[in-house]
Amino acid sequence: MTHTRAALCKALSSMTISSGKRSLQEQVVAPGSRSTATAASQMDSSETKLGATVASRVPQIVIGNPEELERKKRAIKAAGLSSLQVIADFDMTLTKYMVNGTRGQSTHALLNQGNAEYDLKRQQLFDHYYPLETCPTIPVEQKTKLMEEWWGKTHNLLVEGGLTFKAIQTSVANAVIGFRSGVVELLEILEAKSVPVLIFSAGLADIIEEVMRQKLHRSFKNIRVVSNRMDFDGDGNLLGFKGKLIHVLNKNEHSLEMAAPLHDDHGHEVVNNAKNGYSLVRDRRNVILLGDHIGDLGMSDGVDYDNRITIGFLNENINSWLSTYTTAFDIVVLNDGAMTSVLDLIQELSR
């Protein structure tokens, strides 16, 4: 039965999940929203095939329920920024979907461990498990076990294949990856205003930090990364992984024990005696959440929040997904757009 379902899901994924986003039944946009049909039709001419240039795309913003968004903004503004925390996905949310006309890489995809045999084995695991991850008919309990199995096998291959920290540095240097315009300014403002930022990722914290070091050339004391963290020996050889395994179905605030500050070029934490994840966000009952697909909304699971403003980055397949995204997120940024709307929001809330 399991094999039959897996085969069916693989077939379905090849036909309908090319975007890499989880299938949901399309929902109707709430009254008062901008017509998503109109917005989608306006984007027809800018839809491109994977890998084609999108440099000429103009970022656009769609707000499904302006009245509800304004209500949330008033409430958060009244409570003050001392009540606020920001939760962000990393790949294709803080980073770009397209980089110089080429599909950007995720932090998992960019890793070349310098061992062709083990790189191939990891790719084979992806080919087997990814259709199961995106299959809408597999129950959550069963899918969770499958994701734990996939991540565990992948981590074992990284250790067995002799991954080194030097290979991570080289992989990042050669990667097709970059941050959205406005990310640095956003993080600087949030740091200046002492607003904590939690970056959640089912990927690898060490790669996320290396991307930030090489592409942003600076650290931020208010950031905590909640992701899988590696354990290296004194020579930079991977020994294993620290703490709880984080996969796509549990990257949320229930995993805050894995939150850690950024590290400098010498491997030292940029914050002395840093607060742990729980202490950092305690009593911060208002949330701004940034993600690039529907599943990212679950990153705030475990937060007893009063108000949550969600911003979704819809990078592709706008005709198919605009209605769903506009219903699910308060603000939708189209066409691999910049962080302008988030910057404007923070500035408005701080006035």
Residues with catalytic function: 89, 91
Calpha distance 254→260 (Å, rounded): 14
Among 48-57, 103-112, 234-243, the range scoring the smallest mean pLDDT is 48-57
| Beta-carbon contacts of residue 272 (< 8 Å; ≥ 6 apart) | none
pLDDT band (50, 70, 90) for residue 46: very low
Query: Which is nearest to 255 in space by CA: 140, 142, 138, 87?
Result: 87
Higher pLDDT, 18 or 107: 107
- What would the mean pLDDT of 198-202 be, rounded to a whole number? 91
- What would the mean pLDDT of 29-34 be, rounded to a whole number? 33
Residues 252 and 302: beta-carbon distance below 8 Å: yes
pLDDT band (50, 70, 90) for residue 192: very high
pLDDT in tens, 225-239: 989 999 999 999 999
- What would the mean pLDDT of 46-62 be, rounded to a whole number? 50
Higher pLDDT, 52 or 157: 157
Contacts of the segment 121-126: beta carbons below 8 A, 24+ positions apart: 121/157, 121/161, 122/154, 122/157, 122/158, 125/150, 125/153, 125/154, 125/157
Strand pairing class (197-204; 102-103): unpaired
Torsional sign, CA 175, 180, 185, 190: negative
SS3 content of the chain, % helix, strand, coil (to 5): 45, 20, 40
Query: Which is nearest to 342 in space by CA: 185, 218, 220?
Result: 185
Query: Which is nearest to 102 in space by CA: 176, 49, 173?
Result: 176
Structure tokens at 165: 């920290």
- What would the mean pLDDT of 342-348 be, rounded to a whole number? 96
- What would the mean pLDDT of 314-322 be, rounded to a whole number? 89
- What would the mean pLDDT of 112-131 be, rounded to a whole number? 92
pLDDT band (50, 70, 90) for residue 216: very high
Residue 347 has pLDDT above 60, yes or no: yes
% of the chain residues with pLDDT over 70: 75
pLDDT at 3: 52
Torsional sign, CA 17, 21, 25, 31: negative
Mean pLDDT estimate for the chain: 81
- Cα 255 to the center of its chain, rounded Å: 15
pTM, whole model, 2 decimals?
A: 0.79
- What would the mean pLDDT of 258-270 be, rounded to a whole number? 55
- Give the CA radius of gyration of the chain: 20
For residue 86, the cross-strand partners are: 197, 288
- Give 15-51 as a DSSP string: HH-TTSS------PPPTTS--HHHHHHHTGGG---TT
- What would the mean pLDDT of 87-96 be, rounded to a whole number? 95
- What would the mean pLDDT of 72-82 be, rounded to a whole number? 97
Angle 34-51-163 from CA coordinates, rounded to 5°: 115
pLDDT in tens, 265-290: 555 455 544 555 556 787 899 999 99
Cβ-based burial of 128 (10 A; exposed 0-12, middle 13-18, buried ≥19): middle
Place of tokens 């992806």: 126
pLDDT band (50, 70, 90) for residue 329: very high
Calpha distance 12→19 (Å, rounded): 13
Cβ-based burial of 6 (10 A; exposed 0-12, middle 13-18, buried ≥19): middle
pLDDT band (50, 70, 90) for residue 303: confident
- What would the mean pLDDT of 53-71 be, rounded to a whole number? 76
- Cα 258 to the center of its chain, rounded Å: 16
Higher pLDDT, 256 or 146: 146
Q: Could you give the maximum distance between any two Cα atoms of the chain, in Å?
A: 60
Residue 323 has pLDDT above 70, yes or no: yes
